[in-house]
Amino acid sequence: MQPTSDFDAGRLTRSLLRRSRQGALATLVAGTGDPYCSLVNLASHPDGSPILLISRLALHTRNILGDARVSLMLDERAEGDPLEGARIMLAGRAEEAGPDQLEILRRRYLSAHPSAEAFVKFKDFSFFRIRPSGAHLVAGFGRIVDLKPEQFLTDISDAGALLEAEQGAVEHMNADHRDAINLYATKLLGAEAADWSCIGCDPDGLDLQAGTATLRLDFPERVIGPGELRKMLVRLAGEARAKG
């Protein structure tokens, strides 16, 4: 089914990937190939692909180590009828983090799930990243779309400087510009006032969190360096203040 003209399927899929903190992970049981589904916590890589922290004692991890093919269901957790909210089924392969990926996966995951700090120290826990092969989005009548990875993942090939500066930028925003973060949330995104913090940024936008609530602030233009990021955040703060 084709999307309606005013519907941006890629943007909605990216937003769900960035905002989701839990999902239903489907794996294949080693030896039989039977489907197995479990609830997992997750965060997002700068390109939007999901990050997992899972134990080798868990059946889903043993399944992944035998067959890396997985699917992940994410939804908006809409009030009332859950089928009224948007949802995606992401297909791909789950890869255990190598030494070159471990730092960024750890930082990103713990920003989203600070309470998981203790589990990182356990020898049986490891970080995995799901490399998507496609996504199936269901967002209401006339809004059922199959997407390729390049339609919903963020291109970070030219954003090395931004990713290198990300942690410092996030810490600076949370320490010195909490008022601006709250303006982004309440004035630009229409959220309720809360103790909003920034947990990550990428070329396409900013990820915000307050307790279990999450928001995605999309940038009007792509940014790939720390200087561009600073200008964008100042610009958006000005737009938020102008809303009164």
pLDDT score for 78? 65
- In the 8-state DSSP scheme, what is residue 4? P
β-sheet with 197-202: strand ranges across: 197-202, 205-210, 213-218
- Beta-bridge partner residues of 136: 89, 146
- Give the distance, in angstroms, between the CA of residue 63 and the centroid of all CA atoms in the same chain: 23
pLDDT score for 85? 79
Question: In this predicted model, what pLDDT tens digit does every residue of 49-69 receive, in sequence order?
Answer: 999 999 999 999 999 999 999
Q: Which domains does the chain have, with CATH numbers?
A: 9-152 (2.30.110.10), 160-242 (3.20.180.10)
Nearest-angstrom CA–CA distance, 136 and 142: 13
CA–CA–CA angle 30, 128, 198 (5° rounding): 145
pLDDT score for 6? 67
pLDDT-flagged residues of the chain (< 70)? 1-6, 78-80, 82
